[in-house]
Amino acid sequence: MSDPRHVDGNAIGGFMIDVFGGEMTAARGCCAACGAVNALGALVVFRGGPGHVARCPACSTVLFVVSAMRDGPRLYLSALSWVESPA
Partner 1 sequence: MTWQLATVVDLIAETERVRSLVLDVPDWPGHVPGQHVDVRLTAEDGYQTQRSYSIATPAAGSLVTITVERVPDGEVSPYLVDELLVGDGLELRGPIGGYFVWRPGGRRPLLLVAGGSGVVPLMAMIRARVAAASGDPVRLLVSARSWEELIYRRELETIELEQDGISVVWTLTRSQPAGWTGYRRRVDLAILTEVAWPLPDRPHCFVCGPTGFVETVASALVDLGHAPDAIRTERFGPSGG
**Rule CB under 8 A: which residues touch partner 1?**
1-11, 13-14, 17-18, 23-27, 39-42, 47, 86
Query: Nearest approach, Cβ of 41 to partner 1 (angstroms)?
Result: 3
Choose between 42 and 62: whose C-beta lies nearer to partner 1: 42
Choose between 19 and 33: whose C-beta lies nearer to partner 1: 19
Query: Nearest approach, Cβ of 77 to partner 1 (angstroms)?
Result: 20
What does the DSSP 8-state code read for residue 26? T
Of 59, 51, 46, 42, give the one whose Cα is nearest residue 4: 46
Cβ-based neighbours of 63, under 8 Å, separated by 6 or more = 29, 31, 32, 43, 54, 55, 56, 77, 78, 79, 80
Query: Nearest approach, Cβ of 17 to partner 1 (angstroms)?
Result: 5
What single letter denotes the amino acid at residue 16? M
Choose between 43 and 79: whose C-beta lies nearer to partner 1: 43
